[in-house]
Structure 1
Amino acid sequence: WPDVPVTQQRLQIGVSDPSVQALRQRLMVSGDLPREAGISSAFDSYVDGALKRFQARHGLPADGVSGEYTTKALNVSAQIRLAQLQTNLVRIQSMSGDLGQRHLMVNIPAAAIEAVENERVVLRNTAVVGRASRPTHVINSKIYEVILNPYWTAPRSIVEKDIVPLMQKDPTYLERNNIRLIDGKGQEVSPTSVDWFAPKAPNLMFRQDPGKINAMSSTKINFHNPNNEYMHDTPQQGLFNKLMRFESSGCVRVQNVRDLTSWLLRDTPGWSRQEMERVIATRVNTPIKLAQEVPVYFVYITAWSAKDGVVQFRDDIYEKDGNAELALNTTTGIEQPAGPVDDDLLPRN
């Protein structure tokens, strides 16, 4: 297919520009625009609908405007896309077998979660996953616990790099963010008794109380894994509206997490949606063991289609496909996380 020229003028409905001819050809070749729409320089309603279809199946906002990211996706070569399909076919074939009557599928490049029941997707959730330098791990596991009103314990790296400097500037920071200091005996320590200008950060646990400003907000979902990764709610709901949702340190933030936890707890007696909401309102830390563990699969699939035959593509965010061209919007270089994680969860108040 032809490259779509990068122009100063954004291509959208109502525009007339010679580069629209190449856009029409490109969308025709990939089956997004019917050939009977013809070749012209006019960006009409046919092109608008075709471009929105293209955007939707590439994980882009379907706004019908050929902006920077859309143009980059249009100009990935057919050879690269074919290689992407071949690579992902092998990945998908390796997933064959009994995945479980009820299971969760977390597709990292799509930053999306699907709850599957009897081979049908019953719930989809938008997610925020690990950035390229702190990637979310591919793993097959089982979800064993939901914690309502979780505590958040700050990793040592955050304590040293972020919290101590903040306390030097503002001694009320911990109190305002409901973060308590706990010593090795489980006793609470007053922040006023700590020398925040000492050469080393205090050897204390920094634990944030449950509540709305808690870094994990209402919910934490635990699954067996060696990387101390988990899924969780977030007070920063605006992150789910971003195009590039690759911002965490390995853990996965879940939009509309209560819909997902309701589904997970469906077979756990005593945990209706109403009861779950009641407990969240109390802000009391409440761990819940699932009556039956739910399989969860963290996968890295950048190309696929469903039964409708529509081919979907996503950016190769971690450069696992072997095609640097597909890492359209990321920086290069992946370093494995050195330890437990979500250091981006530092409260910002």
Structure 2
Amino acid sequence: MTKDLDRKAPSKKTVSRRRFIAGAAGVLAMPHLASAQSAVDALINTPGRGNWDDQFDAFTSRAPASVSSNQPILGPNAPANLMQAIAQYQQIVTSGGWPEVHPNVPLQFGVYDPSVQQLRQRLIVSGDLPRSAGISDSYDSYVQGAVRRFQARHGLSETGYIDEYTLKALNVGARVRLAQLETNLSRVEDLGSDLGERYVLVNIPAAYCEAVEQNTVALRNVAIVGRPSRPTPILNSKIFEIIFNPPWTVPRSIIQKDIMPLMRKDPNYLVDNKIRLYDNKGNEVDPMTVDWNAEKAPNLTFRQDPGPNSAMASTKINFHNKHAVYMHDTPSQSLFNDIVRFESSGCVRIENVRDLDVWLLKNTPGWDRQHIEETIHSGISTPVNLADPVPNHFVYITAWSAKDGVVQFRDDIYNLDGAPELALQTTSGIE
């Protein structure tokens, strides 16, 4: 783990703000969250479940959309939004929190089971299900929509039914979520709000990239970040160069950990993947002359030829940093469909990276979309310097509120939040 990933102690400013919040939770909390538990108890005792109308489907379709926002997670209102969320969650904790959900049957649309009452109560307390939906045994369209909203807030597949990962997220206690919000308020305050008029932000736990201009998200791209054993570092830099059709110089860590074992199993691996070996004088070396059973990798440069099937495919985005990481394209586009996108060796792969290329180069004369596509199609490795370098920030934020009243959480993939319940929930064996 790099030193950059060490968790910082809360500043005095943060602590004082938290004390203020703790003392004023009843004032700052949203009115509809006051006395949450007693209100839910009253709903449980309400006979019947009322008259449902044809707004079910509308609610279901609107639920995930109500979570999205074009506001950046580190916009100027980020600290205030987080403090409001902390006040809300303090009120929830004071009122008794929310119940755990222990299903008797698979919970999905159309199911009628007493365990749905627990689910309804849980979703009402966290604000995902309207109180007017009431408490009953029916998993109806309101519950389905509320589950989709909950899943959207936690970075889960928006299926509308309770799978293993949704159940784990539901059963993280309110007190743990409150502590997570407080931890991330400290991080947000330490980062500050002056990130640049135009900047790129990668939120590592969320595994996505934001291109921000004048405090509005111009692009939001799905990303693949470093696995826990090879984490993506926290950093601040500036993007100064894009290379189209880049050759890939393989990092030493990948040569040692990945290529050496692969060559022992398949001596044709390097040739099949168009990876060439060079000595320190630039002379090409025949892979068959290397002892692949040696303990240490040979002191050679491993370089993959440019092409659509290379590790970086069409694009490499460079910024100065001591970790030798960068952002890039990938030939394995299907990986972006996974919920668990912690698969890289520290660099960040960007979905639809050409959209980001266009945005980064919009102030660089001669590099419009058409020219970019023509250059990539040529197959020739072409470096382009940005006329205006763009600030680039890799951050570690597991809880935030970019939209008033909507709180988002992500798994603590690198175990920096200090609570085992927040560790990587969406897989059991990722390394």
* Structure number with larger C-alpha Rg: 2
Maintained 8 Å contact 2:165/2:426: no
For residues 257 and 393 of structure 2, the distance between their equivalents in structure 1, rounded to whole angstroms, comes to 33
Q: Please, what is the CA RMSD of the aligned residues?
A: 2.1
For residues 220 and 214 of structure 1, the distance between their equivalents in structure 2, rounded to whole angstroms, comes to 11
For residues 171 and 177 of structure 1, the distance between their equivalents in structure 2, rounded to whole angstroms, comes to 11
Structure 1, unaligned stretches of length 5 or more? 336-349
For residues 424 and 274 of structure 2, the distance between their equivalents in structure 1, rounded to whole angstroms, comes to 40
Aligned: 1:74 with 2:163: no
Structure 2, unaligned stretches of length 5 or more? 1-97
Deviations 1:44-101 (CA, angstroms, capped at 9, x unpaired): 0010001100100110111101011101111111111111111111221223342211
For residues 198 and 94 of structure 1, the distance between their equivalents in structure 2, rounded to whole angstroms, comes to 46
Query: Residues 107 and 195 from structure 1, CA distance in 2 versus in 1: closer, same or farther, beyond 3 angstroms?
Result: closer
Which amino acid in structure 2 is aligned with residue 83 of structure 1? A
Match of residue 234, structure 1, among 310, 330, 347? 330
Aligned: 1:48 with 2:48: no
3-state SS of 1:289 partner: strand
Which amino acid in structure 2 is aligned with residue 215 of structure 1? A
Match of 2:386?
290
Alpha-carbon distance, 1:189 to partner: 2.8
Alpha-carbon distance, 1:203 to partner: 3.2
For residues 106 and 62 of structure 1, the distance between their equivalents in structure 2, rounded to whole angstroms, comes to 22
Match of 1:146?
242
Query: Residues 218 and 68 from structure 1, CA distance in 2 versus in 1: closer, same or farther, beyond 3 angstroms?
Result: same
Stretch moving more, 26-35 or 173-182: 173-182
Maintained 8 Å contact 1:132/1:330: no
Alpha-carbon distance, 1:298 to partner: 1.0
Maintained 8 Å contact 1:72/1:328: no
Q: Which has the higher helix share?
A: 2
3-state SS of 1:294 partner: strand
Which amino acid in structure 2 is aligned with residue 112 of structure 1? Y
Aligned: 1:243 with 2:243: no
User: What TM-score do the two structures reach when normalised by structure 2?
Assistant: 0.73
Alpha-carbon distance, 1:306 to partner: 1.7
For residues 266 and 341 of structure 2, the distance between their equivalents in structure 1, rounded to whole angstroms, comes to 31
User: Structure 1 stretches (4+) deviating beyond 6 angstroms?
Assistant: none
Query: Residues 18 and 291 from structure 1, CA distance in 2 versus in 1: closer, same or farther, beyond 3 angstroms?
Result: same
For residues 165 and 81 of structure 1, the distance between their equivalents in structure 2, rounded to whole angstroms, comes to 42
The percent of aligned pairs where both chains have the same amino acid is 66
Aligned: 1:187 with 2:187: no
Aligned: 1:209 with 2:314: no
Match of 1:12?
108
Deviations 1:213-240 (CA, angstroms, capped at 9, x unpaired): 1111111111111111111111111111
3-state SS of 1:94 partner: helix
For residues 152 and 309 of structure 2, the distance between their equivalents in structure 1, rounded to whole angstroms, comes to 33
Which amino acid in structure 2 is aligned with residue 135 of structure 1? P
For residues 185 and 303 of structure 2, the distance between their equivalents in structure 1, rounded to whole angstroms, comes to 44
Match of 1:2?
99
Stretch moving more, 293-302 or 178-187: 178-187
Task: Map 1:21-100 onto structure 2 (within 5 A).
Answer: 21-100=117-196
For residues 237 and 105 of structure 2, the distance between their equivalents in structure 1, rounded to whole angstroms, comes to 48
For residues 47 and 223 of structure 1, the distance between their equivalents in structure 2, rounded to whole angstroms, comes to 46
Alpha-carbon distance, 1:198 to partner: 6.5
User: What TM-score do the two structures reach when normalised by structure 1?
Assistant: 0.89
Stretch moving more, 180-189 or 46-55: 180-189
Aligned pairs, how many? 332
For residues 254 and 106 of structure 1, the distance between their equivalents in structure 2, rounded to whole angstroms, comes to 10
For residues 171 and 314 of structure 1, the distance between their equivalents in structure 2, rounded to whole angstroms, comes to 41
